Amino acid sequence: MTRQEALDFIRASEATGFRYGDLSYITEKQDAIKDIELMEDEAWNDGEIFEA
């Protein structure tokens, strides 16, 4: 999914934690949004995101 799709997914989700990229830990919703918003498109590179 694109970076924008990931942000839309997080914002629409009722989950409070997410896992994405190569992170093995759960990131809180607001921190995940902030992190992905600041990420370069090349760094995201059509990554995946999962509710945790």
DSSP, residue by residue, 1-52: --HHHHHHHHHH---SEEEETT--S-EEHHHHHHHHHHS-HHHHSS--EEE-
pLDDT top residue among 39 and 45: 39
The mean pLDDT value for 17-22 works out to: 88
| CA 36 – CA 39 distance, rounded (Å) | 5
Q: Could you tell me the pLDDT band of residue 23, with boundaries at 50, 70 and 90?
A: confident
The pLDDT of residue 16 = 96
Average pLDDT over residues 17-43: 90
Residue 48 burial (CB count, 10 A)? 9
pLDDT value at 22 more than 80: no
